């Protein structure tokens, strides 16, 4: 019996926008995942949230209503304290031991992976899917040792189909995938909302999310 393949896309989703959904759907299709879980992060104590956990989760639920296989997960939000990525994935692996998890991240996050708490341990628990931008040229020789080592066995899904089995090593797989351009800025979205520039957001936010923001008067305190 094959494992249930689950993608994890974390973020503050403050607010969730169509770029997030495009990333989740692209990963789901390319990696042949059963589901992608959108995991709103619990905001650390040292950061000032722009809205509540409840609002962020509700917006995720509204955004995914027409997207089969894209799931809103509140696991991290229900924890009593902030969790690092490694701690979140460890928790998921413990709760769902028969699932095969793939953590989805952008190239900017991958380039900083060696600085994450227990960053080098993540690949032992879950696959990693790194989205690159079309014009970004990755030079492995300029990367930290951890990223160089991971790239040695990386599977470039732009050039190969999804493999049936894992690579024969102690770690999970690292997948590389070119994604669509996504320069959407959450801070710019919040600024447009504060200035009531809603016409600029129709192609960025789903109608349901934008309506929710208006109905609950969110992001009105966002600084210019």
Residue 196 lies in a domain: no
**Interval 9-26: pLDDT, tens:** 999 999 999 999 999 999
Residue 18 lies in a domain: yes
Is the pLDDT assigned to residue 222 strictly greater than 90? no
**Interval 80-90: pLDDT, tens:** 999 999 999 99
Give the percent of the chain with pLDDT over 90.
Answer: 70
Residue 24 lies in a domain: yes
pTM: 0.91
Residue 46 lies in a domain: yes
Residue 92 lies in domain: 4-182
**Interval 104-163: pLDDT, tens:** 999 889 999 999 999 999 999 999 999 987 666 778 888 999 999 999 989 988 866 666
What is the tally of structural domains in the chain? 1
The CATH number for 17's domain is: 3.40.50.620
Residue 77 lies in a domain: yes
Residue 33 lies in a domain: yes
Residue 175 lies in a domain: yes
Residue 20 lies in a domain: yes
Question: Could you please report the per-residue DSSP string of the chain?
Answer: -PPEEEEEEEE--TT--HHHHHHHHHHHHHTT-SEEEEEEPPPPTTS--SS-HHHHHHHHHHHTTT-TTEEE--TTTTSSS---HHHHHHHHHHH-TTEEEEEEEEHHHHHTGGGSTTGGGHHHHSEEEEEE-TT----GGGS-HHHHHHHTT-EETTTSPPPSS--SSSS--EEEEE-------HHHHHHHHHTT-GGGGTTTS-HHHHHHHHHTTTTTT---
């Amino acid at each position: 019996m094959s494992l249930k393949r689950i993608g994890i896309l974390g973020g503050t989703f403050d607010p969730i926008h169509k770029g997030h959904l495009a990333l989740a759907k692209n990963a789901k299709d390319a990696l042949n995942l059963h589901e992608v879980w959108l995991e709103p992060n619990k905001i650390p104590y040292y950061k000032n949230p722009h809205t509540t956990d409840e609002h962020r989760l509700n917006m995720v639920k509204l955004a995914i209503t027409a997207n089969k296989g894209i799931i809103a997960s509140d696991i991290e939000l229900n924890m009593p304290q902030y969790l690092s990525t490694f701690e979140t994935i460890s928790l998921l692996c413990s709760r769902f031991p028969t699932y095969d998890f793939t953590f989805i991240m952008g190239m900017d996050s991958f380039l900083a992976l060696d600085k994450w708490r227990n960053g080098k341990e993540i690949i032992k628990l879950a696959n990693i899917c790194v989205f690159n931008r079309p014009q970004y040229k990755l030079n492995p020789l300029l990367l930290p040792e951890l990223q160089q080592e991971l790239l040695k066995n990386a599977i470039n899904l732009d050039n190969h189909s999804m493999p049936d089995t894992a690579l024969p090593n102690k770690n999970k797989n690292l997948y590389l995938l070119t994604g669509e351009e996504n320069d959407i800025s959450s801070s710019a979205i919040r600024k447009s909302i504060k200035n009531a520039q809603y016409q600029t957001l129709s192609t960025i936010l789903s109608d349901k999310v934008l309506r929710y923001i208006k109905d609950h008067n969110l992001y009105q305190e966002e600084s210019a």
